[in-house]
Amino acid sequence: MDGNGGWPTTATAVVLTRVGDPSEKTLNNSPQLNIDETPAKAPITTLESLREHLQWAIELEHATLPPYLCALYSLDPQRNPDAVQAVSGVFVEEMLHLALAANLLNAVGGQPVLDAPHMLPVHPRALPHGDRSMQLSLLPFGPDALEMFLRLEQPALPDAGPEGDDYETIGQFYDAIEQGLRNLCAELGEQKVFSGDPARQVTAGPFGHTSGKLTAVTDLASALAAMQEIVEQGEGTERGAVWDSDQDVFHPERHEVSHYYRFLELKLGRRYQPGDTPQTGPTGEPVVVDPEGIYPMRPNPRLEDHPVGDPIRSVQTQFNQAYCTLLQQLEQTFNGVPQALGASMGTMYMLKGKAQSLLQTLDGDENTAGPTFQYVTPELRS
């Protein structure tokens, strides 16, 4: 898209340099010395701290869902199939990451929490326990949303150390969990660390837009594999690499492009193809975004924008009730009631219908309405 449409056409090349012995790899194929020799900020030294950080991982993965859903809901799939494919694919993989984080927490004897007020603070909001400068907003798809997604999914530099709190990148946060997990297994033994009930592991889910796998976590090897799935899909097989290790379900002739570079494809208007690198940029077929096929949703809408009884507020309330029901169903799924996952799919379709109704309703002269993602207590859900 040219400058008249507000879409940048160039970007600074992403060039990352590597240090250390590349034969010693961690989750994201960064040098082993980054994990073992670099002290983590807010290190994880107890099982209680490990469980706390894995709950934070659930909260982190969930925090990405409302912004991705707003961008997705704002797109006309007939006019913007490339953008819908990219955003929906990332959303499904973030749901997969949430499920893997819940499996990790269950494996070490924790109890995943999703149906709680702190899961849905008012937007714009900070990334849970992350760099406070990283703010997540509810926006329609467009340049502002893309910049937010690129900041959210940006790879860590190769020599960036683990960060268990106030983390700059998601990869560094999972590095801190990896470091803590390895150290606790060495200190206490795997059997004591992985004390959770294996029956609480969830291994089936509606993840049809990705070749990523939802796997059980029962020991250190499977825990590292689960975190590798999360980190690779976000920032590639190596920090800053274009590709992750999964096959692209939409383009089976290649591996998946990691999240960061999928959004860069949309920003630059061209697809990565085999042989492309961060330095070359994408050289494949064009990626088209039609700005006329985007609903101009009011940024960061809130219930309080409209009086009680207003039709927009009524639909927003119904959406919030359904979304909190979804959180309840997911919490049940990860706490010993796996059949609740099937019911959650019906709730997702209900959410989509309510969101489409809002996005197609004018809210002022230039904007349409949108979902507010505000918490509703269980007794007020219809």
Measured at the alpha carbon of residue 63, what is the angle toward residues 169 and 292, in degrees to the nearest 5? Answer: 100
Q: What is the CA radius of gyration of the chain?
A: 20
pLDDT of residue 39: 60
Residues 344 and 261 in one domain: no
pLDDT of residue 252: 62
CB burial of residue 274 (10 Å; 0-12, 13-18, 19+):
exposed
pLDDT of residue 232: 84
pLDDT band at 179 (very low <50, low <70, confident <90, very high): very high
Model's pTM, two decimal places?
Answer: 0.88
DSSP secondary structure code for residue 155 in this structure:
P
Is 160's pLDDT higher than 80?
yes
DSSP secondary structure code for residue 156 in this structure:
P
Residues 178 and 230 in one domain: yes
Residue reference for tokens 């085999």: 274
Average pLDDT for residues 288-297, to the nearest whole number? 97
Residues 235 and 274 in one domain: yes
Residues 280 and 366 in one domain: no
Is 142's pLDDT higher than 70?
yes
Q: In the predicted model, what is the mean pLDDT of the chain?
A: 87
Domain end call among 259, 294, 329: 294
Residue 136 lies in a domain: yes
Residues 241 and 361 in one domain: no
Average pLDDT for residues 169-190, to the nearest whole number? 96
Of residues 95, 109, 126, the one with CA closest to residue 47:
109
Q: What CATH number is associated with residue 177? A: 1.20.1260.10
For residue 270, the tally of other CB atoms under 10 A from its CB is: 18
Phi, psi at residue 97, to the nearest 5°? -65, -40
pLDDT of residue 19: 30
**In whole angstroms, what is the distance from residue 244 CA to residue 232 CA?**
5
Contact (Cβ atoms closer than 8 angstroms) between residue 53 and residue 176? yes
pLDDT of residue 351: 96
Token output for 350: 């209900």
pLDDT digits (tens, 9 = 90+) for 38-53: 566 778 999 999 999 9
Residues 176 and 317 in one domain: no
pLDDT of residue 289: 96
Instruction: Give the largest CA-CA distance in the chain.
Output: 64
For residue 76, the tally of other CB atoms under 10 A from its CB is: 16
DSSP secondary structure code for residue 368 in this structure:
B
Contact (Cβ atoms closer than 8 angstroms) between residue 319 and residue 371? yes
Residue 132 lies in a domain: yes
Domain end call among 268, 294, 320: 294
Residues 62 and 150 in one domain: yes
The identity of residue 145, as a single letter, is: A
Residue 117 lies in a domain: yes
Residues 364 and 238 in one domain: no
**In whole angstroms, what is the distance from residue 134 CA to residue 33 CA?**
27
DSSP secondary structure code for residue 173 in this structure:
H
The counts of H helices and E strands in the chain are 11, 4
DSSP secondary structure code for residue 108 in this structure:
T
Residue 2 lies in a domain: no
Is 217's pLDDT higher than 50?
yes
Is 16's pLDDT higher than 50?
no
Residues 203 and 346 in one domain: no
Of residues 92, 341, 64, 100, the one with CA closest to residue 210:
92
DSSP secondary structure code for residue 303 in this structure:
G
Residues 262 and 126 in one domain: yes
Percent of the chain surpassing pLDDT 90: 70
Residue 329's domain comprises: 295-382
Token output for 306: 């409209």
Average pLDDT for residues 131-157, to the nearest whole number? 94
pLDDT, greater one: 207 or 241: 241
pLDDT band at 34 (very low <50, low <70, confident <90, very high): very low
pLDDT of residue 347: 94
pLDDT, greater one: 219 or 19: 219
Residue 242 lies in a domain: yes
Residues 87 and 115 in one domain: yes
Contact (Cβ atoms closer than 8 angstroms) between residue 114 and residue 84? no
pLDDT, greater one: 219 or 208: 219
**In whole angstroms, what is the distance from residue 12 CA to residue 21 CA?**
28
For 332-364, give the DSSP string.
Answer: HHTTT-TTHHHHHHHHHHHHHHHHHHHHTSB-S
Please give the sequence-ordered ranges of beta strands (E in DSSP) within 72-173, or none if there are none. Answer: 125-126, 135-136
Residue 86 lies in a domain: yes
Least confident of 10-24, 64-78, 174-188, 265-279: 10-24
Domains in the chain, number:
2
pLDDT, greater one: 62 or 25: 62
Residues 277 and 308 in one domain: no
Domain end call among 274, 294, 314: 294
pLDDT of residue 35: 44
- In 3-state terms, the chain is what percent helix, strand and coil (to 5)? 45, 5, 45
pLDDT of residue 254: 62
Least confident of 207-216, 218-227, 242-251, 350-359: 242-251
pLDDT digits (tens, 9 = 90+) for 63-102: 999 999 999 999 999 999 999 999 999 999 999 999 999 9
Conformational region of residue 128, where left means phi above 0, alpha means psi within -120 to 50, and beta covers everything else? beta
pLDDT band at 158 (very low <50, low <70, confident <90, very high): confident
Is 59's pLDDT higher than 60?
yes
Is 17's pLDDT higher than 60?
no
